[in-house]
Amino acid sequence: MSTTETTTATETTTLQKGYVGQSVPRREDKRLVEGQGVFFDDVKRHGMGYLHFVRSPYAHARIQSVDVSAALALPGVYGTLTGDEVAILTDPFFQIAADPGGQVKDYALAVGKVRYLGEPVAAVVAETRELARDAAELVEVDYEPLEVVVDARASLEDGAPVLHEDCGGNLSYTGVWEWGDVDGAFAEADHVVSISQLHFDRFNSTPLELDGALVEWNRGTGQWAITTNNQFPGFAVIMMAPAMRVGTDKLRMITQDIGGGFGNKITSHPQLVACCLLARKLNRPVQWTEWRTDFHQSMSHGNERWFLDTEVAVQSDGTMTAFRTKAIDDAGAYLRYEPLGGVIWSQVAPGMYRWRNLRLEFTQAMTNKAPVSPNRGYSRMQHLWFTERIIDIVAQELGFDRVELRKRNYVQPEDMPYETPNGCVYDSGDYPRALDLALELIGYDTVEQRRAEAVERGKLLGVGIGSTLDSGTNNFGQSQLLNPELQFSGNNEVATVKLDIFGEIVVTLGTTPQGQGHETTAAQVVADILGCDVDLVHVRAGHDSYWNSHAGFSGTYASQFAVTGLGAVKGAADELAEQMKTLASMVFQCPIEAIELADGFARIAENHEAALPFMALGAIPNANNAGFPVDPPPMNARFVFRPQFDVPDKEKKFGNLTLTYAMQIHACVVEVDPETGVYEIVDYAAVDDCGVRINPQIVEGQVMGATAHAIGAAMFESFVYDDEGNLLTPNFYDYHVPHALDMPPLKTSSVESPSPFTPLGTKGMGEGGGGGIHCVCAALQDALRAAGGALVTDSHNPYHRVWDMLRHPERSRDTVEVVKQ
């Protein structure tokens, strides 16, 4: 089921009615359904060697020695690389953090110490994949095991084992974020609710394709060609080039198809450097494929976060005036993209609510676990879950209706654009309307009747809501709120649109899509602007830095293509249209204003007989340019889209951190078996508002994907460590991800509130803000009201946790108190 309605009619797009807004079937699909996609592991080169990493079996240990002689002696082994070599050949990666986190020394391979289980210690390259692994087993590493710390709270205590001695402890970043008059709001509050501990669990979205690369070293030019699936090549080269002591142009980043990313493929730069060093050392192409267990043990976990000593100020009418809390974030063993999570959450500091007084003490700790990296909904998901938990816990404890409490406190449509207490600007949206739609889809008005029916079947039924924002198009200036020395701000993306010799329109993007359909949506936008059939527009698949269609922030991450990517496409297509009209006006010797682009021609609007086909326009500058008194326009436009941002105020931690705020409301109904804690989602609805939808089918697909990730995270997916730092869910055998039979029925709907700030009225979307995680938590809490009234204080609720809540509701109830009645 799918419905759409348009709310505010802020028409910012100037496009004629055409392909934009239609579910044009994706042009990427044909090659993919035929098995003709080109993923990094599909690319082969003559004489290439396969790389296998030797990984640490300890979570924390000193490396006494590494002996590769037995591995090198094995026939078919081409060579090895150790941490000692890496320490000589490279500098530590640049750190985003100021001190103390800035003192972390992070290399392509472990140097001196290992700090998490699975950390690459050495690498072997051999003739076959199997042989490389055989040889890796022959590398002898002598470890001196050290004490391990896996709990972020414990890692900050005195006497905890220290991961990075240079940091003087395990703290990577701490800061107080406070806006409004928090103390005043609490003094005037009618009620204060305190929640001693909430926990957002560690998981990630586990893209089906793992990381990897084929790296070729060109001895003549000193350049590496890196065919990889890194989803943020702009960031990767900024990390890699200085460490390798070369310019960024020495690193040619190439990608065609990527098998899912979800942020998890942003931080593969250490492994890519190891591949580069070996390709140079061995003077042969080096191929690295990561396997599932490697990935689970060592790559890209999502940020685990604790919220301690939360207090919420509430007026007797339900108006929420303030909250304060202490967040402790677990970065794992290295700061690969961190501590950016320490600021990203503040894009959505008050969630979807009109909280004006907030205080959040953010502390990030390092532990002997895999390093974290962005994961769909990065850092906002944790925070939005927290704000939603507040709403439902306060509602239950003070006796408010959850729907009414939300509607009372939501930022209202008439408030838009709405400036949050920390200077972010929510561009548009109608949250109450979207909530109504979601509740309608799950039949909210019949819930009590269904609850009674469920009781007769021995089941506990509950309904839950998760309302979230999908903030998109980062202002990278927010990084300066963590480290004032950083020289990053704003954002950009690049597109090139040209008209080739036979009239082909060729579009080159800077992005690295992983299934978001960029080739399709870019073609829709260009076809509308140039007035031609969408099939005439060829959008190159993938990314190649040789194409000169990229900039420092190029990539596909953080919900922004519809704004920055398509903004660049629109800009370039507008420029090309201007060039085409100019050329036509030169040919017809008429004013440019008389020319229109339509039906695949540049023609005089008043006289369709005077028409130049695109082929003629393309041929003139390219191959038939004699006799022109002035240079014909080049039929080639490169456009850098730059959103308007200021650098935020570092003192007040104030400023606009993201350009757009898409929104999703999720609602679901669960049934719990009170005897076992086993539960099932029996009804589910997701309502999305991402402004103008270029391609509704693709948007809906993103909503579905975000929903599936959320359901997985809520019910099944968790990276669980034991006290020795062993990962107990190291692959799909124990880390269960939802399969087809695990999925509930889904209903989707949408609202369209165009963004007033973007060229096409679009908003970045796709992350979903973890809305589904919260709606499952809330539905469980609702179901358990009739069985002891446990409060859900964890984002991840496998069956055993639900069973515990049924047996011991007091354990969670005791963590919540109404301090002021």
- Residues from 267 through 306 that contact another protein (CB under 8 A): 289, 291-293
Nearer to another protein, 393 or 566 (CB): 566
Judged by CB under 8 A, does residue 154 bind another protein? no
The footprint of another protein on residues 468-497 (CB under 8 A) is none
The minimum distance between CB 222 and another protein, in angstroms, equals 30
The minimum distance between CB 697 and another protein, in angstroms, equals 5
Terminus-to-terminus CA distance in the chain, angstroms?
Answer: 44
- Selected range binding another protein among 273-281, 588-596, 610-618, 794-802, rule: CB under 8 A: 794-802
Nearer to another protein, 37 or 613 (CB): 37
The minimum distance between CB 308 and another protein, in angstroms, equals 25
- β-bridge pairing 251-255 and 418-419: unpaired
The footprint of another protein on residues 208-227 (CB under 8 A) is 208-210
Q: Is 107 exposed, middle or buried (0-12, 13-18, 19+ CB in 10 A)?
A: buried
The footprint of another protein on residues 22-51 (CB under 8 A) is 23, 25-26, 28-39, 41-42, 44
Cα separations in angstroms, 219 against 81, 123, 273? 19, 21, 16
- Which alpha helices (H) appear in 140-206, and where do they start and end? 152-155, 182-188
- Rounded CA gap, 711 and 97, in Å? 33
Sheet holding 113-114, edge to edge: 113-114, 61-67, 140-145
Vertex 704 angle, CA 307 and 770, to 5°: 5
Q: Would you give the distance in Å from CA 439 to the centre of its chain?
A: 27
- Which alpha helices (H) appear in 22-157, and where do they start and end? 29-33, 69-73, 83-89, 129-138, 152-155
The minimum distance between CB 257 and another protein, in angstroms, equals 6
- Give the x/- contact pattern for another protein in 668-687, rule: CB under 8 A: -------xxxx---------
- Selected range binding another protein among 383-391, 492-500, 601-609, 796-804, rule: CB under 8 A: 796-804
Judged by CB under 8 A, does residue 733 bind another protein? yes
Evaluate the CA torsion angle 180, 184, 187, 190 in order and state its sign.
Answer: negative
- Rounded CA gap, 357 and 323, in Å? 7
Backbone angles phi, psi at 193, to 5 degrees: -110, 130
Beta strands in 551-678 (DSSP E): 595-598, 601-604, 607-613, 636-641, 658-672
The footprint of another protein on residues 523-542 (CB under 8 A) is none
Q: Would you give the distance in Å from CA 301 to the centre of its chain?
A: 12
Judged by CB under 8 A, does residue 500 bind another protein? no
- Selected range binding another protein among 129-137, 389-397, 620-628, 636-644, rule: CB under 8 A: 129-137
Other CB atoms closer than 10 Å to residue 75's CB: what's the count?
8
The minimum distance between CB 523 and another protein, in angstroms, equals 15
- Interface residue with another protein among 45, 105, 133, 356 (CB under 8 A) is 133
- Interface residue with another protein among 160, 720, 787, 818 (CB under 8 A) is 720
- Interface residue with another protein among 116, 179, 262, 323 (CB under 8 A) is 262
- Interface residue with another protein among 234, 621, 705, 764 (CB under 8 A) is 705
Nearer to another protein, 453 or 680 (CB): 680
* Selection from 568, 694, 684 nearest residue 637 by Cα: 568
Structural element, H or E, at residue 271: helix 269-282
- Interface residue with another protein among 447, 737, 786, 818 (CB under 8 A) is 737
Backbone angles phi, psi at 521, to 5 degrees: -70, -35
Nearer to another protein, 151 or 430 (CB): 151
- Interface residue with another protein among 700, 752, 767, 794 (CB under 8 A) is 700
- Selected range binding another protein among 252-260, 320-328, 483-491, 605-613, rule: CB under 8 A: 252-260
Nearer to another protein, 134 or 817 (CB): 134
| Cβ–Cβ < 8 Å for 82, 109 | yes
The footprint of another protein on residues 192-211 (CB under 8 A) is 205-210
Nearer to another protein, 261 or 339 (CB): 261
- Rounded CA gap, 269 and 185, in Å? 46
- Selected range binding another protein among 255-263, 277-285, 493-501, 522-530, rule: CB under 8 A: 255-263
DSSP character for 794?
A: B
The minimum distance between CB 707 and another protein, in angstroms, equals 6
Q: Which amino acid is at 703?
A: V
Nearer to another protein, 38 or 598 (CB): 38
| Cβ–Cβ < 8 Å for 752, 727 | no
- Rounded CA gap, 598 and 746, in Å? 41
The minimum distance between CB 364 and another protein, in angstroms, equals 26
Q: Which amino acid is at 384?
A: L
Judged by CB under 8 A, does residue 260 bind another protein? yes
Judged by CB under 8 A, does residue 808 bind another protein? no
* Interface with another protein: number of residues (CB under 8 A): 80
- Interface residue with another protein among 160, 704, 786, 787 (CB under 8 A) is 704
